[in-house]
Amino acid sequence: MTVQLPSGENVAMGAANASLVETSLAEAKSRGNKLAGIILKGAFTPLLINALGPISAILKIGETERVLGTLNVIIDPAASASPPQPLQSQPAAPAS
């Protein structure tokens, strides 16, 4: 599986070999499940996103590629239009 960044760069996440897929399918079948699944996890640290646009998770099986999901990186102009405002101090509570 790879992650494609908005810049077009592809970052490898990992792979599942045929044995892992066959084992997953056999376990699902033995449990009476109609679906089998494999989870691939990864961490990007640090991950430099130097362009706006989609970040896509892509799975390749043989010569076929499938897009598993996409996150669109955008800038919200309203959120970045002004610097953060300082917190207002609260008046002290009266002594009792």
- Which element (helix H / strand E) includes 22? helix 18-30
pTM of the model: 0.58
Q: Which residue, among 9, 8, 3, has the nearest Cα to 71 in the 3D structure?
A: 3
User: Could you give the CA distance from residue 73 to residue 80 in angstroms, rounded to a whole number?
Assistant: 14
Per residue in 22-79, pLDDT (tens digit) is 898 999 999 999 888 887 777 777 778 888 999 999 988 888 888 989 999 888 777 6
In order of 13, 44, 59, 66, the CA distances from 16 in angstroms are: 10, 19, 10, 15
